[in-house]
Structure 1
Amino acid sequence: MTMGLTLIKNGLTYTPSPIGKKDILVCENSILAIDDEISKDSVITLDPSALVIDAEGMLVAPGFIDCHIHFNGAGGENGPQFRTPPLQLSSFIRAGITTAVAPLGTDGVCRSLKELLAKCRGLDAEGITAYIYTGSYGYPPVSITGDVMSDIVLIDKIIGTKIAISDHRSSHPTVTELRHLISDSRVGGMLSGKMGLVMAHMGDEEGGLSIIREALSGTDIPKTQILPTHVNRNSKLFTESLKYFADGGYIDITTSITGNDGSISPVDCIAMAHNKKIPLSSITLSTDGNGSIPIFNSSKEIIGMGIGEPSSLFSTIKEILCNTNIPKEDVISLVTENVAERLKLTKKGRITIKGDADILLISISDFSLQYVIAKGAVLMEKGNIVRKGTFEGLAQ
């Protein structure tokens, strides 16, 4: 009887904590065993069709979690022709992303949460794990059921809420409105066993993080309930974010922000935080992948347009591993364990027995991605994508 076994042998394993060379046995979509030696012959006896992967010379890590990626498209700031299209499965595989969480972007009018939810379930069927946020840039927040609390409680794939603040494209919610949103998202999470995280898109406006500080002030709501993202979009905001750490805050750095035009590259951000002895466990990385990146002049008129790259997540981790002396476990945690803790995804972000079998194999010699395993299935083998989305490769 086929059991769906996969044996990974001889890999230098990071859970993300370093545990040395280990063999890992996967049964269907879960990790069954981790040991110094698991007999290949015994596995083949149990399951003659078992896959055995020799991970000698490879670093074994948990699959990456992207907590802010626009997998159903975003944009539209310069007209309908600037709406980005949905992402295909191969974009996630190439980036080592085995879990993805998507919000709506600027457009909460023509883009719908129902459509986003359908794309989410489609990606789940194609091979990775996907979730979404309710809400969008604006306030009052858009929702499926009528309010964000009900969305989080009643819809399995909705695990938090999106809002934009300190941005000329936002609705400029008041402190009371933001506090109300955070509270509703938190209670929704409590009632459903989820985190109910508020993902706060940060813009360039002078107010920065002050509205978050004010909204949480005088309450018992922990700072883990809200995660400001894009904090590396300008040096003033990032400097403010470093102070936010001192008060127990958490931040998300965007890997699609390259460090041009006054922004700070994600690699420089992590190096700065490490040099200031800020615990990297307070930081996550996400891509803003597939989101439009409009370029504005001083009058906030669009003068150019870019797009966030999902591949920037893996390339950023690779660059940090190659060019800094930051411990590998701290670097890997930025896109695995840290994110899983922020989102309360208890079976994600770690290589552990009974955890989800989302695993990456990375060449130690050049840090190239060699294998991607999601839900126990091999999606990339020896650097080649072996599973594609439903419509990839079909004639146009």
Structure 2
Amino acid sequence: MSLTLIKNAEVYCPEPLGRVNVLLAGGKIAAIGADLELHGTALPLTVIDAEGLLLVPGFVDPLVHINGGGGEGGFHTRTPAMRLQDASIAGVTTVISALGTDATTRTLTDMLAKACALETEGLSSYCYTGSYELPARTITGSVRDDIILIDKFIGVGEVAIADHRSSQPTATELAKLAADAHVGGMLAGKSGITFVHVGDGADQLGLIEQAVAQHDVRLRQFYPTHINRSRALLEHGIRLAQQGMTIDFTTSTNPELLALGEISAAESLREALAAGVADTQLSFSSDGHASLPEFDASGRLVGLQVGRIASLHEAAQEALALGVPLPSVLRAISGNAARTLGLGQKGKISVGADADLVLTSHDFAIRHVWARGRQLVQDGECIVHSHF
């Protein structure tokens, strides 16, 4: 076992701890203290002088298509799988993966294998069982069994609602899915969350509200994403976040989508906080390696780009430039997703937590990244890469 001592950093956990030293050992944060020093240890010790830098939790991205996605324009538009360095260079140390529109040529077993590969290479990786459509795709034949029996499956998603690409589920079908995931999570000690893709349909989040009103499921069992897709959807999401549901803003975008009415994740965060939503109820995800399709009024594909994991970090920088306090930004890119997904050792800097850490300059440029105590990025350059 080797030790790493990070000295003189301004630490945010996400609340500010001041200028303290942080010791990493065995993949965990072993100690934190202003006067923390090590002398005479027989173990290999690396000392990092972080004078003038910020030490923050590693970023947790609750939606990445790690084995690729897309395909709305035909087989040639299937998007590429991610590599370790796509995440690490952007400060992302934990990824959660889902199948997208295509659950035929992209499969749960392939996604699970990719998650295991990324874990071996250095990232923490988890998955949602299921898919856009209902009945949900599974490995064991049951959403509940997948969550209980397969370690990396922590919930179900991203089930699509209010979208012409969805299977048009009913409120009862959505409630049954959420109940199945919830019980599976209880029995396995996992979140059992239902992660929901929300399209641009007129019903917006109405199906979730119907499921909650008509059945014994709760808002907190649902975790909807793409809430910054439109002004109306953002306002709807803010109302539900004020009732205790965590909502997620997508950071991958392009000028075309913004021109069609999408609101940037950073601006959405600022507006939600201004509306009185607690900063514990808001998160960012990159939708990395998904397709960013643009459809005309008839539903025909007219453009397609690829989501970028790096957009998570870029959106954080934009939010800081808009005046959002750093602790609120850190919750959005790390702690809130970790809490909502039941990843209790992620998204924070505390003794015993996983040693997932990012050192940044005061303008939030990434300098160093550690995942489970292993350094992946040094002086802004990747020092660990995917096998191929």
TM-score, length basis structure 1: 0.95
Q: Secondary structure at the match of 2:64?
A: coil
C-alpha separation between the residues in 1 aligned to 2:215 and 2:296? 39
After TM superposition, give the deviation of residue 28 of structure 1 in Å: 2.1
After TM superposition, give the deviation of residue 277 of structure 1 in Å: 2.3
1:368 and 2:365 matched = yes
What's 1:394 paired with? none
Number of aligned positions between the proteins: 384
Amino acid at match of 2:299: K
Q: Deviations over 1:248-276 (max 9, x none)?
A: 22210000135331111111101111222
C-alpha separation between the residues in 2 aligned to 1:206 and 1:327? 33
* 1:172 aligns with one of 159, 168, 173: 168
After TM superposition, give the deviation of residue 65 of structure 1 in Å: 0.2
C-alpha separation between the residues in 1 aligned to 2:304 and 2:329? 30
What's 1:260 paired with? 259
Amino acid at match of 1:340: A
1:116 and 2:114 matched = no
What's 1:127 paired with? 122
What's 1:35 paired with? 33
Q: Deviations over 1:131-154 (max 9, x none)?
A: 000011101000000010000000
Amino acid at match of 2:385: K
Counterparts of 1:19-98 in structure 2, within 5 Å, are 19-40=17-38, 42=39, 45-47=40-42, 49-98=44-93
Q: Deviations over 1:104-151 (max 9, x none)?
A: 010011111000000000000000100000011101000000010000
C-alpha separation between the residues in 2 aligned to 1:379 and 1:357? 12
Q: Secondary structure at the match of 2:63?
A: coil
Counterparts of 1:1-396 in structure 2, within 5 Å, are 3-40=1-38, 42=39, 45-47=40-42, 49-162=44-157, 163-258=159-254, 259-321=258-320, 323-364=321-362, 366-391=363-388
C-alpha separation between the residues in 1 aligned to 2:109 and 2:93? 22
Amino acid at match of 1:54: D
Q: Secondary structure at the match of 1:212?
A: helix
CA contact (8 A) 2:253 2:292 kept: no
C-alpha separation between the residues in 2 aligned to 1:246 and 1:160? 23
CA contact (8 A) 2:226 2:250 kept: yes
C-alpha separation between the residues in 1 aligned to 2:70 and 2:86? 18
C-alpha separation between the residues in 1 aligned to 2:95 and 2:42? 31
C-alpha separation between the residues in 2 aligned to 1:342 and 1:260? 31
Q: Secondary structure at the match of 2:237?
A: helix
C-alpha separation between the residues in 2 aligned to 1:58 and 1:47? 28
C-alpha separation between the residues in 2 aligned to 1:8 and 1:260? 44
C-alpha separation between the residues in 2 aligned to 1:188 and 1:282? 23
After TM superposition, give the deviation of residue 30 of structure 1 in Å: 0.6
C-alpha separation between the residues in 2 aligned to 1:260 and 1:35? 48
Range with bigger deviation, 222-231 or 92-101: 222-231
CA contact (8 A) 1:5 1:47 kept: no
After TM superposition, give the deviation of residue 48 of structure 1 in Å: 5.1
C-alpha separation between the residues in 2 aligned to 1:389 and 1:66? 18
Identity of aligned residues (%): 40
Unaligned runs of 5+ in 1: 392-396
C-alpha separation between the residues in 1 aligned to 2:369 and 2:259? 31
C-alpha separation between the residues in 1 aligned to 2:143 and 2:79? 25
CA contact (8 A) 2:133 2:160 kept: yes
CA contact (8 A) 2:250 2:285 kept: yes
Q: Secondary structure at the match of 2:333?
A: coil
Unaligned runs of 5+ in 2: none
Amino acid at match of 1:251: I
C-alpha separation between the residues in 2 aligned to 1:246 and 1:381? 40
C-alpha separation between the residues in 2 aligned to 1:174 and 1:127? 40
Amino acid at match of 1:292: S
C-alpha separation between the residues in 1 aligned to 2:176 and 2:236? 24
C-alpha separation between the residues in 1 aligned to 2:275 and 2:132? 33
After TM superposition, give the deviation of residue 220 of structure 1 in Å: 4.5
C-alpha spacing 1:23/1:127, structure 2 compared with 1 (3 Å) = same
Q: Deviations over 1:275-317 (max 9, x none)?
A: 2222121111101011011111110100111111110001111
